Structure 1
Amino acid sequence: MNNIKNKKIAIVGGGPGGLTLARILQMRHADVTVYERDIHKDARAQGATLDLHHESGLRALEEAGLMEAFKANYRPGADRMRIIDQHGTIVLEDNHKEDGPAEAYRPEIDRGPLKKILLESLHPDTVVWDCQFSGLTPFNEGWHLHFKDGHTTYADIVIAADGANSKIRPYITPIRPFYAGVTVVEGAVYHSEKNTPQIHQWLNGGKIFGMGDEKSLIVSSKGDGSLVFYTGCNTPENWVQESGIDFSDKAQVMAWFKATFTGWSPVWEELFENATGTFIPRPQYCMPFDQTWEALPNLTMLGDAAHLMPPYAGEGVNMAMLDALELGLCLTSEDYPDTHSAIAAYEQAMRTRASATAEMTMESTAALHSPEAISFLVQIVS
């Protein structure tokens, strides 16, 4: 604990990783502030349901003393999954049972409730909203953090939890992610029971993996009666710009879907016809498996900022929360003589873990967008 005694810790980014770290540190009496660019806690629509894994996300919640709150907010049955081919034929139903082995138990929770549990576990005013980070300058033994609105604050230790496009990562390493070969187009449908009745029935409160013709269409139900969906296609890296598609124009996106997913059942079109708001194209990137850098004594990172990878192994939020737990434990451990060695130990273990997961994720990304996608997925879940 002595390493962070009387030290100010700044976490940039208030996603599940940043908030989990703040909770772990506060339980050990650290002075921690989270700087989040969202204007307030409800500023952003929260994305898909998250399945938390026994050895990572759930372990972090257990250590954070939040399992009771989690059990009150998770969605029983949301881990149900159907694999459906492009013609609308159900290939496999996978209904996880809670009485199976703990390691196989992957309960689902919506991102919104998870964030709420974490926020409510923190001291009042831990999170400073509407703070868009713009830069760092070294000062004494720590850093001045600069924000877009012109204000500056000091911290002895800064932790980047600011996601895929981290503005802090370049202060640690110049290593950049490589393109993973797939672009996702994301959409959402409200009131899915009314607006997309056939898809809603297939979903049955869980997830659909639509696979075929080297493409994927993943649909996830949410507790508020809405759903989110993600197409996945093998494309060149600059496809979004070169396609000429205006993703805020439903007719253009619908025309693209029909042309690209030709031969798919018309049922899938329900999603595009009834989507609300703009579609979001997301080219997928992954950090190199062998990335390494010299540890700094007062600056580190976690989650996507440290090891961005595509979502096709469901590990993102779990790894961010495990990073948060392990970094919090390292910083507050008596085993390290100073913060430099604590950060170095955390980063070494984090990179090793992330490298193996990234490799597995890239294999999964390729397999799910190959002619063998359905047999690959069936093998994994059955």
Structure 2
Amino acid sequence: METSTAINLLHHKKIAIVGGGPGGLTLARLLQLKGVDVKVYERDFSQASRVQGAIIDLHFDSGLKVIEAAGLLEEFKANYMRGADKYRLLDPKGNILLDDGNQSGATSFGDEKFRPEIDRGALRDILIAALYPDTVIWDSQFLTMQQVGQGWELHFKNGTIATADIVIGSDGYRSQIRPYVTDVKAKYSGATIIQGEIDHPETACPEMYELVDQANLMAMGAGATIAVQPRGDGGLTFYVASMYPENWGATSGIDFNDAEAVHSYLADRFKDWSPVFFSLLEACGQFVLRPLNYFPIDQRWETKANLTLIGDAAHLMPPNGEGVNLAMLDALDLSECLTDPKFSELQEAISAYEKIMFERSADLCRETIEGIADFASPNEESVEELIRMLAGDE
């Protein structure tokens, strides 16, 4: 790995990144390119301990821009999923409203409209391979930390202790680092999703498997959306979204740890939809309920001298296709601010990063919250608008 000498702000400083998702790993790569001493503490037991989930698309002015800045564009090109950047939109009866199959191959790298998809696990593997050996410390579930002198002492569930001069929370929407930065809590968006994974859809729900055909599939109407995405390993991830009262999971009477109870609810909820959708839902043996929360659009906190947040830990919002891209942009901006010679103090550099991050995420969060009902409880008008957008008419 080629590196440049770090400027004085980080000279002889140790940085601890808590959370080994795309944002944290990207930040580690960018900092190591600048000669910075950095470790990533990840709760997963090992690199291969779990499936990372559905595919994600990287965007021209965010994720792809950062991948290029990290010197990993060729590795990305060798691993992205060709043809997976297409959309297929269905109505509740299973009729295809939009089949964007011709999008695949119409654009490519260098085109602002190109949004190549990659398996989350493959992206993580690329980033980890680009780091120095032993940068990622596995089996490190964060418990607590305390200030010791000018730095931090971090304690993990496995009994280990680490020290760092600067701590960066990249530990997602349930961040354990965030309370050390701010007491601003998340709000409920009004929408909730039921998520499921299917490992062998070609046999478990073959008709749906053929319908997906490596595309991002959505069925919208009658106050609900079913979204299905392929995984890099051949499996499927699906999301059932609708508008529900806050704490609906606790008051619904449904045991979401009981697959049969969830099947019964979904069979009734989607009884008027095409049977192909219930074949998908019935093929799943384990569900996760996810209320879609967000941090207030106007959130701010007093900048700390040696502590900050990136990604969902900083600016949680409902899914909008921007999450990983935002986290990677945060990583780029923070790495540049921390190593910019115009800043004479760490707190000044962190404050500059946070200003960029707050402004960028606030605009996207506002747009997402305003459109949450169109996604989770669509009507004919909102579906037609989505078709126009995906078809490039807007």
TM-score range, shorter chain: over 0.9
Aligned mates of 1:278, 1:202 — CA distance in 2: 22
Contact 2:145 2:154 in 1 (8 A): yes
Aligned match of 1:31: 37
Contact 1:212 1:373 in 2 (8 A): no
Aligned mates of 2:382, 2:271 — CA distance in 1: 17
Unaligned stretches of 5+ residues in structure 1: none
Aligned mates of 2:297, 2:20 — CA distance in 1: 26
Helix, strand or coil: the match of 2:365? helix
Aligned match of 1:180: 189
Contact 1:209 1:219 in 2 (8 A): yes
Letter in 2 for 1:267: V
Letter in 2 for 1:343: I
Letter in 1 for 2:169: A
Given the alignment, which residue of 224, 229, 244 partners 1:215?
224
Letter in 2 for 1:358: C
Deviations 1:22-68 (A, max 9, x none): 00000000000001111111112211110111111111110000111
Aligned match of 1:53: 59
Query: Would you say 1:241 and 2:255 are equivalent positions?
Result: no
Letter in 2 for 1:292: R
User: Which is further off, 188-197 or 152-161?
Assistant: 188-197
Query: Please, what TM-score do these two structures have when normalized by structure 1?
Result: 0.97
Contact 2:86 2:104 in 1 (8 A): no
Letter in 2 for 1:41: Q
User: Which is further off, 148-157 or 161-170?
Assistant: 148-157
Helix, strand or coil: the match of 2:371? helix
Quote how far apart the aligned CAs of 1:208 are: 0.5
Aligned mates of 1:339, 1:319 — CA distance in 2: 22
Query: 1:310-329, aligned counterparts within 5 Å?
Result: 310-311=318-319, 313-329=320-336
Letter in 2 for 1:271: L
User: Which is further off, 90-99 or 285-294?
Assistant: 90-99
Unaligned stretches of 5+ residues in structure 2: 1-6
Quote how far apart the aligned CAs of 1:308 are: 0.3
Quote how far apart the aligned CAs of 1:380 are: 1.9
Aligned match of 1:19: 25
Aligned match of 2:84: 78
Query: Would you say 1:348 and 2:348 are equivalent positions?
Result: no
Aligned mates of 1:51, 1:363 — CA distance in 2: 22
Aligned match of 2:49: 43
Quote how far apart the aligned CAs of 1:97 are: 4.1
Helix, strand or coil: the match of 1:356? helix
Aligned match of 1:113: 122
Aligned match of 1:202: 211
Aligned mates of 2:369, 2:201 — CA distance in 1: 31
Query: 1:149-188, aligned counterparts within 5 Å?
Result: 149-188=158-197
Helix, strand or coil: the match of 2:112? helix
Contact 1:82 1:203 in 2 (8 A): yes
Structure 1's consecutive aligned runs of 4 or more residues displaced over 3 angstroms after TM superposition are: 97-101
Deviations 1:242-279 (A, max 9, x none): 1222223322111111212231111101112222x411
Quote how far apart the aligned CAs of 1:151 are: 2.6
Query: 1:140-155, aligned counterparts within 5 Å?
Result: 140-155=149-164
Aligned match of 1:262: 271
Aligned mates of 1:193, 1:132 — CA distance in 2: 35
User: Which is further off, 16-25 or 98-107?
Assistant: 98-107
Deviations 1:331-375 (A, max 9, x none): 111121121111000000000000001011112322122323312
Aligned mates of 1:272, 1:174 — CA distance in 2: 38
Aligned match of 1:294: 302
Letter in 1 for 2:58: L
Letter in 1 for 2:95: T
Aligned match of 2:15: 9
Q: How many corresponding residue pairs?
A: 380
Aligned mates of 2:127, 2:342 — CA distance in 1: 27
Quote how far apart the aligned CAs of 1:99 are: 4.3
Letter in 2 for 1:63: A
Letter in 2 for 1:24: L
Deviations 1:128-169 (A, max 9, x none): 111111112111111111212333221110000010011111
Letter in 1 for 2:306: N
Contact 1:367 1:376 in 2 (8 A): no
Aligned match of 2:3: none
Letter in 2 for 1:335: K
Aligned mates of 1:21, 1:177 — CA distance in 2: 25
Quote how far apart the aligned CAs of 1:209 are: 0.9
Letter in 1 for 2:17: I
Shift of the 104–239 alpha-carbon distance from structure 1 to 2, 3 Å rule, reads same
Aligned mates of 1:223, 1:163 — CA distance in 2: 22
Deviations 1:312-345 (A, max 9, x none): x201111001101111111111121121111000
Contact 1:46 1:112 in 2 (8 A): yes
Helix, strand or coil: the match of 1:103? coil
Given the alignment, which residue of 369, 389, 393 partners 1:380?
389
Given the alignment, which residue of 242, 253, 256 partners 2:262?
253
Query: 1:225-236, aligned counterparts within 5 Å?
Result: 225-236=234-245
